[in-house]
Amino acid sequence: MKFIKNHLMFILPLMAILLGIEFYLVFERTTNSYEKGLKEGYSMLVVTHKPMELSEFQTLNEHISTSETIKREYIVFEVAKGISKSGSEEILAALPYFYNLGLDSYLHTSELEKIKKNLESNIDIKKVETFGSSYNSNYRLFSFIKFILKVFIVFMGVVSLFLIIKQMEIWKYAHKERMQVMEIFGAPMMLRSGVLFRIAFVDAIFATILVSAIFFYTKFYWAAGSGIDIMMQNQEALFKFTDIAILLGSAILIVIIAVYTVVFSSKGVQE
């Protein structure tokens, strides 16, 4: 019972940190695809006096990545119903040129304003419409969710770290005497800390397996049948097998830091 308790006291906080890391990875992946969707769905409308190429827009601002010409014939077709052909041609000649400009990333509204100013500084550009208000509300909501989740992950990490420090104190208390005696008789550090490393590595592997199992289950069993759109659409992002390596690497790194701290703080003979 004591054996299980001792292991759980390290496995649980380690699991909390690993869950935080995995949440972060999943969140980054899902928000990246969402961000990509927002970015791709967004474009600004530019009205120009003369035809313009993408490179011309790009010289005005480097964030502009695509330029799509809106065919003026459609506009004329819509507004000039019942008008003669020559009348239509006159309207077409009088119409300015319309472009939908795409951006390379999901930018802050202040950046959008900057792009607008850059574009408007060109005398050939008549008008720029950024659709700022709808973009702004999307951006703020998205940033807020991202911030809250990161705060939650950091909070979880800090609390878990304190629990790990507590466990390190218990380790120090339990292993100090043995390590000090071994040190007096000239045992190298790896031999002195061998037991502690073995315990900690086993705990790290257990914590990694448990966290991986949770996300594996979420991806393959729960998400598919959950009926939650965002889960079903982003099922692939919920867990990747490379995550196991990241989790195990993180767990082992935490273990090494924790054990070395205990070993170095236990150096010297008790007076």
Q: Please report, as ranges, the residues that interact with other proteins according to CB under 8 A.
A: 177-178, 180-182, 184-188, 191, 268-269
Helices and strands, number each (H, E), in the chain: 12, 4
Tell me the closest approach of the beta carbon of residue 267 to other proteins, in angstroms. 10
Residue with tokens 């999943």: 26
Tell me the closest approach of the beta carbon of residue 255 to other proteins, in angstroms. 22
Tell me the closest approach of the beta carbon of residue 268 to other proteins, in angstroms. 7
Question: Distance of alpha carbon 64 from its chain centroid, rounded?
Answer: 23
Nearer to other proteins, 185 or 241 (CB): 185
Tell me the closest approach of the beta carbon of residue 173 to other proteins, in angstroms. 12
Instruction: Note every long-range contact of 50-59, with CB atoms under 8 Å and residues 24 or more positions apart, other chains counting.
Output: 50/97, 50/124, 51/97, 52/97, 52/99, 52/124, 52/125, 57/99, 57/101, 57/119
Tell me the closest approach of the beta carbon of residue 212 to other proteins, in angstroms. 33
Q: Distance between CA 72 and CA 47 in Å, rounded? A: 11
Are the CB atoms for 188 and 219 separated by under 8 Å?
A: no
Question: Distance of alpha carbon 257 from its chain centroid, rounded?
Answer: 26
Nearer to other proteins, 39 or 178 (CB): 178
Which residues are CB-contacts of 218 (< 8 A; sequence separation ≥ 6)?
238, 239
CB atoms closer than 10 angstroms to residue 50: 10
Nearer to other proteins, 189 or 252 (CB): 189
Nearer to other proteins, 82 or 186 (CB): 186
Are the CB atoms for 263 and 189 separated by under 8 Å?
A: yes
Are the CB atoms for 31 and 146 separated by under 8 Å?
A: yes
Nearer to other proteins, 145 or 181 (CB): 181
Tell me the closest approach of the beta carbon of residue 11 to other proteins, in angstroms. 22
Nearer to other proteins, 117 or 198 (CB): 198
Please give the radius of gyration of the chain, using alpha carbons only, rounded to the nearest integer. Answer: 30
Structure tokens at 197: 């490393």
Tell me the closest approach of the beta carbon of residue 203 to other proteins, in angstroms. 19
Nearer to other proteins, 93 or 269 (CB): 269
Tell me the closest approach of the beta carbon of residue 169 to other proteins, in angstroms. 18
Nearer to other proteins, 69 or 265 (CB): 265
Pairing of strands 64-70, 97-103: antiparallel
